Amino acid sequence: MRIVRTVAEARAARASLGRLGFVPTMGALHAGHMSLVALAAERCDAVAASIFVNPTQFAPHEDLATYPRPIEADLAKLEAADVALVFLPAPETIYPNGFDTRIEVGAIADRLEGAVRPGHFSGVATVVAKLFHIMGPDIAFFGQKDVQQARVIMQLVRDLDFPVEIAIGPTIREPDGLALSSRNVYLSAAERAEAPALHRGLRAAEEAYAAGTRDAATLRHLIEAPIRRTSGMIDYVSIADPDTLEEVEAIGHRGAVVSLAVRFGTTRLLDNVILG
């Protein structure tokens, strides 16, 4: 496994790798990230990953300074998975002195997470565009757990004609249903015991949808009920069009993305399911 830290090194190393699968990450790797590495290995000649905690997608009050950075453990996991290339840039490599350009994706980035975290998806889109430009992947792999992020990146690629296929891997969960996230380590023991309520609510919506329920308000109530029995504070529960992420009153033939964000103490958890 080759580790590179500069743009020139990354481009030179990528040139010999053939059809490349790319997994961009912020580190603190877990089984969800590694499932994307495995998908990339199945579909490509070689796999590259990046580890970069991107400062432009954090608001001033968020956890940039304390975000977990177990770099040696992360590199060991990637090496064990036969990743060929790891891009490990410093912030000043991605954002050199005088950097003053940002990408704004539009309406799809202003909803849900974008409404709660203004500027977040501009930071995501800007860094992903730079990483695609530097690494030149054929396919880039993202997880469904961050469903809005995946949709924003698909919009970015379509609108700016990036020659990159976007592949979405399924959400990987703990045995009790909690979606894997690097931020789960912040949960106290009591909060960790309550957190699977998110998945229970989503499963209730899936079951009701399978039984014929299409009314969004009814499904939203089913999702919220188990969460309201915990200490979690609901930021939003969304039932939205799968393409635009606009809220719907009833689910039509195209189905819906059902997503939520819940705070346990200072930890903010996301989850979602796709209906239809």
Tell me the catalytic residues. Answer: 33
End-to-end CA distance of the chain: 41
134 contact partners, CB below 8 Å, separation of at least 6: 7, 10, 11, 87
The DSSP secondary structure of 92-128, one letter per residue, reads: HHHS-TT--------GGGTSTHHHHSTTHHHHHHHHH
Task: Tokens for 133, please give them.
Answer: 């430009």
Which burial class, exposed, middle or buried, applies to 132 when counting CB atoms under 10 A from its CB (0-12, 13-18, 19+)? buried
* CA atoms within 13 A of residue 37's CA, in its CB half-sphere: 23
Among 32, 68, 44, 239, CA closest to 144: 32
